[in-house]
Amino acid sequence: MRQLLLAAAALLSVGGTAQAATDIDFFFPVPVQGKLAIEMTRVVEGFNASQSDVHVTPVYTGSYDDTNLKTRAAISAGKPPAVALMSANFIREYAIDQKAVSLDGLIGKDGQTPQAFIGQFFPAVRPNATEDGHVYGVPFHNSTPILYYSVEAFQQAGLDPEKPPVTWQEWVDDAKKLTKHDGDHLVQAGVEIVSSYDYLGWLTSGLAMSNGGDYFNHGWGGEVYYNSPSTIGAVQFLDDLVHKHQVMPEGVIDASAASSAFFSGRTAMMVASTGALGYVRDNMKKPFKVAFMPRAMRNAAPIGGASLLIPTGNSPERQQAAWKLISYLTSPAVNGAWSRFTGYFAPRMAAYDLPEMKAYLAQDPNAKVAIDQLAYGEPWFATFNTVGVRKALEDQVQAVLSGKAKPADAMAQAQKDADALLRPYVEQTALKLPQ
């Protein structure tokens, strides 16, 4: 009998522990190359081991766009994840659609105001985390586009690796010197710019802003500026790299193709995310450096990366558990460690006060370029129907890169297509204001 009582007590104890822990799931993408999924699983295991109140199951959900689709499907099915790591520029649309909860209340329970809380993150990342003065996303990892270049290729072309191109004209001049042809065959491209979906919209926005204009209305989700002179000029620059100067291959270049070309010496320069720095560092066998994106009218760096949000449909208990995970992931120590592994910069400013981050930046100056570029950081493209409106632009730019359309015509079509997609939101807001 005593043994039965002890066994029953043990079962009750186990049952009590299970009930005390809140089980939640966490959707996360892997938007750049490398071993990020394995590392994220390890980070979550560290969280689970650090406390007993919450148990998190990490769920890899593909790309940023895939994660968006799967999160929305889960919300519609009444089974939302407790936390989703979402492309930072989706936060506005989730707020518009009421698919994410405002985090103001959870922040308040920690004894902070929303303004004080978001003030702990770099100013450049704050606009994509807030909407109408409320916090909807917590920045986890962020990026800017940067220029990767081969030291050896520069030296062979008679260029100084310590003096990367600063302006678009210098970029073209250097790319011409770096380009190698064997007859009509491009042996070494001067530059390759990633032009697959998501990447292309991001990079085009940076070129348009550098060319002196805005890419979208920063304060309202219903307006884009695809047919503006600054955006047309940016697309014309891309077209010229391919068809006029012949320093970049024709067609769409995905991230894998660009990095493979860079590693093998088939391109001397590559434009990609700073989030790919860890992958490049692990795989580029020859010396390389990174630099600011060259400028046209001004330096400009669109902020990329992802923020953590809590989808609607979660109970208060699950929301509190989700907040505990978010607080852990964005703590200076964890945020800094993730930055060192991936190459994304840590959006939590206090991460850079840690000795290990100071040592990391001293050891790898390439990692500091994105931080320095934050002085010119601007919000990432964010509208109603973000993916559709972004793809309206990307489809046309890809046509230009493939030699199937001219920049002015392509941007006129992109504007027309985007306006049609934005129309429902425009009618709900600006066109229905009191007369």
Q: What is the 3-state secondary structure (H, E, C) of 275-298?
A: HHHHHHHHHCCCCEEEECCCECCC
Nearest-angstrom CA–CA distance, 117 and 121: 8
Scan for tokens 């890899």, then name that residue: 60
Instruction: Indicate whether 150 and 137 sit together in one domain.
Output: no
Give the C-alpha distances (Å, rounded to integers) separating 282 from 255, 367, 372. Answer: 16, 14, 23
* Total-model pTM: 0.90
Burial label, 370 (beta-carbon count in 10 A; 0-12, 13-18, 19+): buried
The mean pLDDT value for 73-91 works out to 97
Report whether pLDDT(269) > 70. Answer: yes
Instruction: Indicate whether 293 and 374 sit together in one domain.
Output: no
Instruction: Indicate whether 231 and 329 sit together in one domain.
Output: no
Scan for tokens 């066109």, then name that residue: 431
> What is the distance of C-alpha 356 from the center of its chain?
24
Parent domain of 365: 21-143+304-378
pLDDT digits (tens, 9 = 90+) for 216-225: 999 999 999 9
Report whether pLDDT(148) > 50. Answer: yes
Report whether pLDDT(198) > 50. Answer: yes
What pLDDT, on the 0 to 100 scale, is given for residue 430? 77
What pLDDT, on the 0 to 100 scale, is given for residue 31? 67
Q: Which of 378, 398, 416 is the last residue of a domain?
A: 378
Q: Is position 3 within any domain?
A: no
Instruction: Indicate whether 368 and 416 sit together in one domain.
Output: no
Q: Is position 1 within any domain?
A: no
Q: What is the CATH number of the domain that holds 172?
A: 3.40.190.10
Nearest-angstrom CA–CA distance, 430 and 435: 11
Percent of the chain whose predicted confidence (pLDDT) is above 90: 89
Any residues with CB less than 8 A from the CB of 258 and at least 6 apart, and which? Answer: 192, 193, 194, 267, 270, 272
Q: Which of 354, 378, 402 is the last residue of a domain?
A: 378
Nearest-angstrom CA–CA distance, 311 and 40: 20
The mean pLDDT value for 145-155 works out to 98
Report whether pLDDT(6) > 60. Answer: no
The first and second tokens of residue 114, run together, are: 């929303």
Report whether pLDDT(34) > 70. Answer: no
Scan for tokens 């001219």, then name that residue: 406
Instruction: Indicate whether 392 and 278 sit together in one domain.
Output: yes
Amino acid identity at 361: L
Report whether pLDDT(156) > 50. Answer: yes
Q: Is position 105 within any domain?
A: yes
Instruction: Indicate whether 273 and 415 sit together in one domain.
Output: yes
**Cβ neighbour number for residue 362 with a 10 Å cutoff:** 10
Amino acid identity at 365: P
Instruction: Indicate whether 155 and 274 sit together in one domain.
Output: yes
What stretches of 29-73 adopt beta strand conformation (E)?
54-60
What pLDDT, on the 0 to 100 scale, is given for residue 19? 56
pLDDT digits (tens, 9 = 90+) for 333-348: 999 999 999 889 999 9
The DSSP letter of residue 103 is: S
DSSP-assigned beta bridge partners for residue 308: 85, 138
Q: How confident is the model at residue 168 (pLDDT cuts 50, 70, 90)?
A: very high
What pLDDT, on the 0 to 100 scale, is given for residue 398? 98
Q: How confident is the model at residue 35 (pLDDT cuts 50, 70, 90)?
A: confident
Instruction: Indicate whether 337 and 204 sit together in one domain.
Output: no
What pLDDT, on the 0 to 100 scale, is given for residue 92? 95
Nearest-angstrom CA–CA distance, 428 and 61: 32
The region of weakest confidence among 30-44, 216-230, 317-331 is 30-44
Q: Is 223 helix (H, G, I), strand (E, B) or coil?
A: coil
Q: How confident is the model at residue 36 (pLDDT cuts 50, 70, 90)?
A: confident
Cβ proximity of 141 and 347 under 8 Å: yes
Cβ proximity of 262 and 284 under 8 Å: yes
Q: Is position 183 within any domain?
A: yes
Cβ proximity of 303 and 380 under 8 Å: yes
Q: What is the mean pLDDT of the chain?
A: 93
Report whether pLDDT(374) > 80. Answer: yes
Report whether pLDDT(9) > 60. Answer: no
Q: Is position 13 within any domain?
A: no
Q: Is position 94 within any domain?
A: yes
Nearest-angstrom CA–CA distance, 191 and 241: 8
Q: Is position 4 within any domain?
A: no
The region of weakest confidence among 2-11, 28-37, 293-302, 336-345 is 2-11
Instruction: Indicate whether 103 and 34 sit together in one domain.
Output: yes
Instruction: Indicate whether 281 and 152 sit together in one domain.
Output: yes
Q: Is position 238 within any domain?
A: yes
Amino acid identity at 89: N
Instruction: Indicate whether 102 and 70 sit together in one domain.
Output: yes
Instruction: Indicate whether 48 and 100 sit together in one domain.
Output: yes
Instruction: Count how many domains the chain has.
Output: 2
